[in-house]
Amino acid sequence: SYELTQPLSVSVALGQTARITCGGNNIGSKNVHWYQQKPGQAPVLVIYRDSNRPSGIPERFSGSNSGNTATLTISRAQAGDEADYYCQVWDSSTYVFGTGTKVTVL
């Protein structure tokens, strides 16, 4: 089965840039979606189909996807960006979520 690997945690200084990777075999050939989840809350879609932002999501959130790695970038990080982030793809008639990354804003 297809696997998506994310770093367990990423730390970023307030106002700086955080990059969260999502690794998978030839993931560049798939559409990657990203979700943000804060404690006790349901996930929120922040990037879809690699690099598209839903309405209401700040421009500070961006995404890219190539080769074996997809990346979610959070620019000018704010305290409110502290959360768990998950990537997601569709493979062989199943959805697969990444292992999740906890982002801490210092």
Partner 1 sequence: EVQLVESGGGLVKPGGSLRLSCAASGFTFSSYSMNWVRQAPGKGLEWVSSISSSSSYIYYADSVKGRFTISRDNAKNSLYLQMNSLRAEDTAVYYCARDESPGYSYGSPFDYWGQGTLVTVSS
Binding site for partner 1 (CB under 8 A): 1, 30-31, 33, 35, 37, 41-45, 48-49, 54, 84, 86, 88-90, 93-100
CB of 13 to partner 1, least distance (A): 26
* 16 vs 38, beta carbon nearer partner 1: 38
C-alpha distances out from residue 104 to 23, 47, 63, Å: 20, 19, 19
Q: How far is the CB of 82 from partner 1 (least distance, A)?
A: 17
Whichever of 96 and 106 has its CB closer to partner 1, that residue is: 96
| 54: DSSP letter | P
Choose between 4 and 18: whose C-beta lies nearer to partner 1: 4
Question: What totals of helices (H) and strands (E) does the chain contain, helices first?
Answer: 0, 9
Nearer to partner 1 (CB atom), residue 26 or residue 41:
41
- From the CB of 16, what's the least distance to partner 1, in Å? 26
CB distance 85 to 8 below 8 Å: no
Q: Is 27 left (phi over 0), alpha (psi -120 to 50) or beta?
A: alpha
